[in-house]
Structure 1
Amino acid sequence: MKKNKLKEINISLFEFILEFAEIFNFIDGEIHGHSYDVAYIVMRIVEKMDFNNNEKLEIVLAALLHDIGVLKENEMKDLMNFEVANTQRHEKIGFFLLNNYRPFKTVAYIVRHHHIKWNEKILDEDIHIGSYIISLADRFAILINGDKNYYKKKTEILDIINKEKGKMFSPELVDILNELVTKEEFWLNIVYGDKKNIIYENYKDKVTKTGLKDILSLGKIISFFTDSRDRFTAIHSTGVAYVAGKLAKILNYSERDQEYFLLAGFLHDIGKVAIPIEIIDKKSALTNCEFETIKSHTYHTYRILDRIKGFDEIAKIAAYHHEKLNGKGYPFGLKGEEITKEARIMAVADVFTALSEKRPYRDRMGKEKIIEILESMGKDNHLDKEIVNKVKENYENLEKINIEVQKEVLEELKIIDEFIY
C-alpha cells in the first residue's frame, strides 16, 4: 500500500460550508456578508421553534447557501429590492447544484423555494417550513442592509414586515421575529457582530466530522458554481481535477492523496468569483489592467481556502498553479523548492487542460502543439520537466480522461439549461 504524503483533512460539512459562504461576499457587492446575515437571523428564529438539532442545522445550512444559484452580480443587485419580480432562475440553479449531493436533499429543497410567499400556493408541492423562514430572514436582512444607523429606521423596517404578516410572511414567524427585535443585541449582531463565529459557536458541538469523499462531492458542486459564470471555461475545473488526479497516480501518490488532487483541482479557480463578470465574459483581448485583475484570482483562491481548517496544503496545491519555477509566476513569485511537487503537478494539469479546450479566441489545440508548448515551458523553467515528460508518456490516457469528464459536465450544463429555461 502506498503511503499517504498529504495530511488528513478533519472537518465537518458544517464548518466547510460556513467557510465556503465567504465567497458570496464577492458577489453580494453592496450587501456584503448577506449570507451570514440571513443565516444568523434564521438561527435565532429556529432556536425559538420545535426542531431537533439536525433540522435546525439543515435550515441554517440552507440559509448559508441560499444564493448559490446567483451566478452574476446583476442578479444580486436585483435581489436587493424588497419586492423581487423574478427569483425562479437562481432558486432553480441552487436546487440543481445542491440536489446532486445526497446529504443535501433537504437543504436543496429548502433553497428551491426560499423566496416563497406565505399566501402563495404551488400545486402538488409541500413547501418546507425552512423556505418560509429564509424568505422572512432574507427580506429582513435586505431592509437592514448592514446600515450602522439602523436604529433610525427600526420602526419603518418593522412596519414593512408586519404589513406583510399573513401575506408575504408566515404570521407565526413574524411573531417570533417581533420577539427577537425587542433585544438590542439582536440588531447589533446583525450590523456589527462576527456572525460566522456566532453561528459556529452555536453549532460546533452538535456536528460530526466528515470524510474526504463528502468534501470532494461538495468540491465538485463548488467548481460548477465558479465555472458556470463563464460558459467557455465551465468545464475547465473538472478537467484540471481529473488530469491532476491521474498525474498523481502516475507519480505514485496513494489513492487517498489522488483524491486530494481532485479536490484541489475542483477548487483551483474558486478565486475567480472575485473577478468582475464583464472581464470574465470579455471576448476580445484584455487590457493590461484587466489582465492584472484576472491574475489576482489565484490570490483570492489562496485567501478563501487557507482559512478553512485543515486546508493549508489544499490551498497551496490549488492556488500555486500560476507560480513558475523561475520565480516569474504569480501571485507570490515563488521559485524552485518553494513550489511543492503537488503544486507543480497542478500547474501542469492546468496548462494541459487549458490548451485542450476551445476558447472564444482560438480552437482547441492538437497533441503536437500542446506538447510543444509544455516542453517549451519546461525548458524555460516555468513548469516541472519531469511532470511534463509524464504528460508526454501518458498523453492519450490523459486526453481521454479529460475529454470524458468534460463531456459529462457539458451534459450537466444542458440539463441545467433545460431545467431552468
Structure 2
Amino acid sequence: MNLTLRVPLESFVKLFREMGVLEYRYFVKHSIQVANITTEIVDRLKLPFEKDEVYLSSLLHDVGLILKVSIGNYELFVEMFGKIPDMERIVLTLDKNDHHSVISWMVVSQIPLCSDCSKSILYHHTPYQKINEKDSIVTLSNCVKTADVISLKLLKYTGSDKELDAESIDEIISSIQKDQGIIDEVKKAAVYLLKDFTKHHLFLEEEPQFHSEKMLSLEEYNHYAMILSALLDFRSPYTRSHSFAVARVSKLLAEEILGEADAALAFTASLLHDIGKIKTPLSILHKKGRLQASEMIIMKRHVVDTYYMLERAGLRLFSLISAAHHERLDGSGYPTGLKGDQMPFLQKLIQICDVFSALTEKRPYRDPVEIHEALDIIEQEAINGKLDGFIVQKLKEIANNLDLREEISFKHVFEELFKDRVDEVIQMISLMSKMI
C-alpha cells in the first residue's frame, strides 16, 4: 500500500452537499448558503485568509447543532429538522444558550485549518462589539454572522420552494443595515452582494461554490470523514456509533494482518461505508417488525447510494471497498452478487466488521448481542461459506486480548471528534453522561 495516498479535499464538500436530504434538507442548504456568502464577502473585503479555509469553516458553522440536538432532544430533532425551513426557529427552540457554536468550533478545530478560521465559528451569533479577539478574528466572525443572518432570512422566505421576491430582498437589506452588531464595512459588502443580481446564484442555488486542487493525506481526510459519519450516524439512536465502530474494528484487524498503511485505508473506507444510508427514511430504519419486500428494496439501496455518492465525489478507491460490505463470499450478497475470488481483501474485512458491529448494537427489533455470541454467529457464517474464515479467526484472537465492547463504545465517537474537549461537550449536551 502506498503511504503517500492522497484524497481530494473537494470530495468532502461534494459529499456534504449530497447529505442534504430528509432531516438534513434545510441544514445542508443553510450551510452551503452561509459558506458561499461568507466567502464572497471575505473576497470583496480582501481579508487575508485562504479561500478554502474560509469556505470549509463557514460550511461547518452549525454542525454542532446536529450533534447537540440529536442527542439532547431526539424527538424534537426528528419533528423539526427537514420539516421546518426556519432554521432560526429551530436554534431558538432547541439551543437557546448557543452551545452549538462552541461545539461546532470544537469539532472544526480538529481539522487542519487556520485557527482564526475555525475560531470564527465560535462567534457566528455574537455582535462584533462583544468579541474579545484580534481584529482578523472579529472581522471574519462578523462575515460569518452576516452570512448566517442572510441565509436564515432567505430560508424563511424561500424555504417552502417559494421564489425570492423584491419585497423580501428589501427586508433582508434593511435588517442587515439596522443590525448594530455588524461592522460597517461588512454591511456594505453584504448589501452590495444582495443588490448584485449576478451574485444571487450564490444563495438561491444549492450548489457549493467550492473548487480546490488541494489533496490530503488519509490522516488529514479522516477528520472530514468523521464529521460526515457523525452526521449520518446521529440521525438515529440505533446507529450513533456504527460507522465509528466498524472503522475502529477494521483498523485493528487490518493493522494485525496487513500493516499500518492498509489499516489507514480500511479506517477511512469504513467511516464512509454507510454514507448512502443518509437517503434511507427513518421509518424503515426504526421499524420494529420485519420489513416488507418494498421496504427491503429501499433498505438495500443504501449500498448503491453509497457507491454513487463516493463515485461522484471522486473517491473511487473508497467506493469499491465501502459499497461491498453486504456482498458475501458465496455470491449470496448484494448489490452485485460478487464471489470470494472477485473481492479484494479489504472488502472481505469490512464485511465482517460491519456484521460484528451491527450484531453488538441495539436495533428496534432486538437487543444487542454479547461479544462472544456475535463472534459465534460470525464464525458460523464463515463455516457456511459467506464470510472469510481467516479474518474471522483474527477477530477472535483480538477479542481474546482486548475488550471489544469497550473498543466500540459510544464514548470513542466523541473522543475522535473532540479529542481532549470531551468533558466540555458532555456538560453542554443533556443526557450525554448517561450514554458514555
Find the partner of 2:17 among 14, 22, 28. 22
Q: Secondary structure at the match of 2:427?
A: helix
Query: How far apart are 1:21 and its partner, in Å?
Result: 2.1
Q: What is the distance in 1 between the residues matched to 2:221 and 2:101?
A: 23
> Is contact 2:359–2:374 with CA below 8 Å preserved after alignment?
yes
Please show how residues 138-153 of structure 1 align to structure 2 within 5 Å: 138-145=148-155, 150=163, 153=165
After TM superposition, the score normalised by the length of structure 1 is: 0.80
Find the partner of 1:240 among 246, 249, 252. 246
Query: How far apart are 1:324 and its partner, in Å?
Result: 2.0
Q: CA RMSD in A?
A: 3.4
Q: What is the distance in 2 between the residues matched to 1:285 and 1:135?
A: 46
> Is contact 2:252–2:263 with CA below 8 Å preserved after alignment?
yes
Q: What is the distance in 2 between the residues matched to 1:408 and 1:82?
A: 30
Q: Which residue of 2 aligns with 1:67?
A: 62
Query: How far apart are 1:332 and its partner, in Å?
Result: 3.8
Q: What is the distance in 1 between the residues matched to 2:246 and 2:262?
A: 16
Q: Which amino acid aligns with 1:95?
A: W
1:303 has 2:315 as partner? no
> Is contact 2:176–2:191 with CA below 8 Å preserved after alignment?
no
1:111 has 2:121 as partner? yes
Q: What is the distance in 2 between the residues matched to 1:295 and 1:93?
A: 34
Q: What is the distance in 1 between the residues matched to 2:309 and 2:261?
A: 23
Q: Which amino acid aligns with 1:417?
A: I
Change (3 A) 1:400 1:12: same
Change (3 A) 1:331 1:110: farther
Find the partner of 2:43 among 40, 44, 47. 47
Find the partner of 1:181 among 194, 198, 219. 194
Query: How far apart are 1:235 and its partner, in Å?
Result: 2.6
Q: Which residue of 2 aligns with 1:85?
A: 92
Query: How far apart are 1:259 and its partner, in Å?
Result: 0.7
Q: Deviations over 1:53-83 (max 9, x none)?
A: 42x4332212222232343452455562566
Q: Which residue of 2 aligns with 1:263?
A: 268
Q: Which amino acid aligns with 2:104?
A: G
Q: Which amino acid aligns with 1:420?
A: I
Structure 2: segments with no counterpart, 5+ residues: 67-76, 416-421, 431-436
* Paired-residue identity, %: 26
Find the partner of 1:274 among 279, 295, 299. 279
1:404 has 2:407 as partner? yes
Q: What is the distance in 1 between the residues matched to 2:321 and 2:358?
A: 17
Find the partner of 2:171 among 154, 159, 167. 159
Q: What is the distance in 1 between the residues matched to 2:296 and 2:356?
A: 21
After TM superposition, the score normalised by the length of structure 2 is: 0.78
Deviating more after overlay: 223-232 vs 72-81: 72-81
Q: Deviations over 1:131-184 (max 9, x none)?
A: 332232234334445688746x13422323323424276243232122223432
Query: How far apart are 1:308 and its partner, in Å?
Result: 3.0
Q: Which amino acid aligns with 1:110?
A: S
Q: Which amino acid aligns with 2:145?
A: S
Q: Which amino acid aligns with 1:385?
A: G
Query: How far apart are 1:362 and its partner, in Å?
Result: 1.4
Change (3 A) 1:404 1:31: closer
Change (3 A) 1:393 1:181: closer
Change (3 A) 1:409 1:137: same
> Is contact 2:128–2:138 with CA below 8 Å preserved after alignment?
no
Change (3 A) 1:339 1:64: same
Q: Which amino acid aligns with 1:176?
A: A
Change (3 A) 1:142 1:195: same
> Is contact 1:161–1:174 with CA below 8 Å preserved after alignment?
no
Q: What is the distance in 2 between the residues matched to 1:24 and 1:285?
A: 27
